[in-house]
Amino acid sequence: MSKFKTVIWPTVILFGDSITQFSFQVNGWGADIADKLARKCDVVNRGLSGYNSRWAKIVLPRLISSQSSAENNNIAAVTVFFGANDCALEDKNPQQHVPLHEYSENLKEITGLLAAAGVSADRVIFITPPPIYEPAWEKECILKGCPLNRHNSVVGQYAQACVQAAAQCSTDVLDLWTLMQKDGQDYSVYLSDGLHLSEKGNQFVAQHLWRLLQSRVADLPFILPYWGDVDAKSPESSLLCDQ
């Protein structure tokens, strides 16, 4: 039987669609967060490209089991970042579209599923979909042989529903749709194709999300001793301690 304590790393789980899945790419917002938390916390990418909130609530119990509540207590935070696919126009993209009211209810259900697994609402952060830059996204749609299938005004309705759901669930929320358009700024610079994030957009998300994450991870200790503090003559005494 092992005489030393296994090192258990806290986790931050990023749960969302393609904007989350792509967040570990070079200069991605998820990679930035993971870099900030190195030696303190594992950042786990659970982004599922193309998914909407309806599918998300179905698969969530497969990703975070309620049978592992003790393990889930080690989850420092979970980001829930859906809506960019839910808001697709029903007549143009019925497969991904989720009605506004159902989207709101799905977010609440996701919070409930997390709570049932031992992840309390104060550890959950909702992220609204970013704005859509229609001229660029329309070009992408035409290349795929379909008409423009999202409108920024509709995205705004889903963003507002996300903010309201967060208030009802007592979770934090990062309202990208509003922040990226604040003071009439040119938000197209935050988007690579009108829908997904550009390098500048990734920086924007990382910067604003970190402000919300900091309070949840500030007290996490540096895992395993700094190399300069290891006793060179008896490294076991430093490396097999409970730190």
Q: Which residues have a catalytic role annotated?
A: 18, 193, 196
Judge contact between 169 and 107, C-beta under 8 A.
Answer: yes
Residues 6 or more apart whose Cβ sits within 8 Å of residue 121: 111, 114, 115, 169, 170, 171
Distance of CA 242 to the CA centre of its chain: 31
Provide the CB-side half-sphere exposure for 240 (13 A, CA).
7
Cα distance between residue 174 and residue 159, in whole Å: 10
Which parts of the chain fold into alpha helices (H)?
18-21, 29-36, 53-63, 69-72, 100-116, 134-143, 152-169, 176-179, 199-217, 235-239
3-state SS assignment for residue 7? coil
Q: What is the DSSP-derived secondary structure letter of residue 149?
A: -
Cα distance between residue 93 and residue 89, in whole Å: 6
